[in-house]
A and B are shown apart, each in its own frame.
Chain A
Amino acid sequence: MKIAVLIKQVPGSESPLNIDSSEKGLEEGQIAYVINESDNYAIEEALQICDNNGDGEVVIVSMGPQRAQKVIREALAKGAHRAIHIITGSDEFADPLITASALANAVKEEKFDLVFSGLQSDDLGFGQTGVILGEMLEMSTATLAMSTEINDGKIRVKRELESGYFQWVTMTLPASISVQSGCNTPRYPSLKGIMGAKKKEITEVEFNDGDAFQAVKKLYAPNNSKETMMIEGSTDQIVESLVNILKNEIKIA
C-alpha cells in the first residue's frame, strides 16, 4: 500500500495576522507557522494503515515556501517514509485548481493507492484540493472521513453527514480521501523518530506557475457591526460585572 498525505504549513492559531502592504497577504515576520491541524489526522490515518498491514509506504506531499520543510520534517518524525516538496516562492496561491494541478504533476508517476488530506486548511480554507487532485488522477474520492477500512482493493469510508448522521461509502482504489478532525488520535514524534527524520529523503520539485483561475484581490479585517460591551478590570471587578449582567440584564434566574 503506497499512501500520499497532503499537508500544509499554516499560521498558528495564536499568531498575529497583520496584513502586508500589498493588501493580499500577511506580514510573515511575526507568524509562528505550524502544520495545518486536520492534516495531523490525515498523517495518522495513513500511518495506522501501514502499521496494521505491516508494510507500505507513507509519502508526505506538501506545497509551499522553503520554510514548509519544518512541518514536513515533523511528519517524517512521526513515521512517514519520505517526502515530496513543491517549492513555491511565496505562500499564497489562493487557487485550488493550480495547487491540485501542481500536486498532480508531482505525484502522477508515483501511482499512489491512496491519498489522504485534511478536511480544509486553517488559512485559506477552500477545502477542495484533495478532491480535485483525486479527480485529476482519476481516483475515487470521499470527504469528511471519520474512519476507514481496507479490504480486497477497496476502501470503506465512514463519512460524517450533517446533524449527527454518518454514512458508509465503499469505493475502489486508488482513492483520495479527505479526513475530518477527530477521526483518530494523532501520535507525537518520538525522540528516535525526530533523529531518524533528519536522514529521510525530501524530493524538491520546482513549481511552474500556470495561469491563475482565481486570486485574492484584497485581504481585510471584518467590520464589526455588532456592538459588544467589553468588560474590563481586575478579576474581581470582571466577576462582579458578569454577575450583574447575568442576573439583571440577561435575567438568567
Chain B
Amino acid sequence: MDILVVLEDSNGKIHRLGLEAIVGAQKLASSHNLSVSALAIGSSADDLSSEAAQYNIDRVLKVKNDLVSMYSSDGYTEVIRQIIKRESPKYIFFGHTYQVRDFVPKLSAKLMKPFLADSVAFEVGGDSAISTKQMYNAKLLSDVITTQEPPYLVSFQSAAFNSDNIQSGSAQIEDYDISFDQSIIKTKSEEPFKESGEELDLTSADLIVSVGRGIGKEENIPLAKDLAETIGADLSSSRPVVDSGWLPSVHQVGSSGQSVAPKMYLALGISGAIQHVVGMKGSKNIVAINKDPDAPIFELADYGVVGDLLEILPKLTEALK
C-alpha cells in the first residue's frame, strides 16, 4: 500500500475535504507511480466505500467494527494504527477537519511520526517530505520538512485540491477485519446535537455585510447593521465577534459556522483567518475594509480599502440611502 486516504462521514457522504484529499492522492500517485487506497470507518462505511469505489482508487477498505460505529479518537487511532502495521502505507492523507484535528495528533504520538497538519501543498523528495502550511494567522507561508522514515501523516486544508478534478474509476471494496479490546476506548460519546434557538440561514443570501473584530467594540455593531439594512443585506460575522458576545452564534460564517456564497460579501474589520475564509471564499465579489494593510483578507478581496471603519461606515450608509 502506498497512499491511504482516510475518509470521513458527512451525513452519509464522503466529507468534501476527503474528496479533495483523494484528488491530492491521485495527483501524487500519477507523478510517482504509486497506488491509492481509501479507508471508510464506522456506521456509514457502506455508503462511503460505495461512493469511493466510483473513483480511480486501487483498494477501498471498509472497517465495520461495533467499537467504531460511532467516532472516538481512541477507536479511530487504533484502527489506523493496525492498518499501518499490516499494510505499511507510505503516505496517509486526511482532510483537515475537526475530527482529524481531534485524533490524528494521538496517532502521531503513538507512532512517533510527525503529523504534517493543515497542508496547502505536499511534495515528496528522495528521503524527505515537505508540507506547505500557513502560519501566523495566514499572513505567512512555511515549508515544513521532515526527513523521518515513512509513514507520513498529512492533512490538507480546505481547497488545497479541487474536488472537480477527481478521477473516476472502479475499485474493489474489501471488508477489512480489525479487532481490539473495548478498554482501548477511554471516552463515551453521546449523540451529536444542534443548539436550539434562533435560526438564520445565510447560505442562500445574495448580499452579506460581515463584521470582524476590527469593528472594535459591541457599541459599533449598529454601524454595520445600519449598512446591511440600507442595502437589504444579511448581517454575518467572524468567530471573534461571536466569542466576544457582540452577535449571536447564528451569524457566524466559517468552519464552525455557515458556508456562504453571496453576490457580494462585504468584510468589515475581518482579518481573513483561514477558519473564516473557508466559509466565504466562494463569494462572487469580496469587498474588504480593514485598517491593517497586511490583513490576509486583501489576498482574497476583489476590492480593498485600508481605512478606519468608524469614519467610512456612517458616510457609506448615508450615501447609499
Contact = CB atoms under 8 A, between A and B. Distances in A.
Interface of A: 11, 13-14, 16-17, 19, 94-97, 100, 122-132, 134-136, 140-144, 159-172, 180-182, 185, 213-222, 224, 226, 228-232, 235-236, 238-240, 242-243, 245-246, 249-250, 252-253
Given A166-B195, A214-B144, A218-B143, A239 B315 contact: yes
A227 B287 CA distance: 12
Contact of A219 (B113, B135, B187, B308): B135
Contact of B135 (A123, A164, A170): A123
Contacts of A243: 316, 319-320
A222 B285 CA distance: 21
A45 B318 CA distance: 44
B299 A231 contact: no
A17 B307 contact: no
B187 A171 contact: yes
Given A166-B194, A170-B187, A236-B315, A221 B140 contact: yes
A224 B299 contact: yes
Contacts of A140: 186-187
Contacts of A123: 135-136
A141 to B, nearest CB: 6
Contacts of B106: 131-132, 134-135, 141
Pairs of residues from A and B, 9 with the lowest C-beta to C-beta distance, nearest first? A182-B243, A131-B105, A135-B109, A128-B105, A214-B146, A217-B145, A132-B109, A168-B190, A213-B114
A226 B297 CA distance: 11
15 contacts: A135-B109, A144-B102, A160-B256, A165-B193, A167-B189, A167-B191, A169-B189, A171-B188, A182-B243, A215-B145, A218-B142, A221-B139, A226-B299, A226-B300, A229-B303
A123 to B, nearest CB: 6
Nearest to A100: B109
A242 B316 contact: yes
B112 A97 contact: yes
Nearest to B110: A135
B105 A132 contact: yes
A143 B101 contact: yes
A127 B193 contact: no
B311 A235 contact: yes
Given A230-B303, A232-B306, 13 more contacts: A131-B105, A141-B106, A162-B98, A162-B255, A166-B195, A167-B190, A180-B256, A181-B240, A218-B143, A228-B302, A229-B302, A231-B303, A239-B312
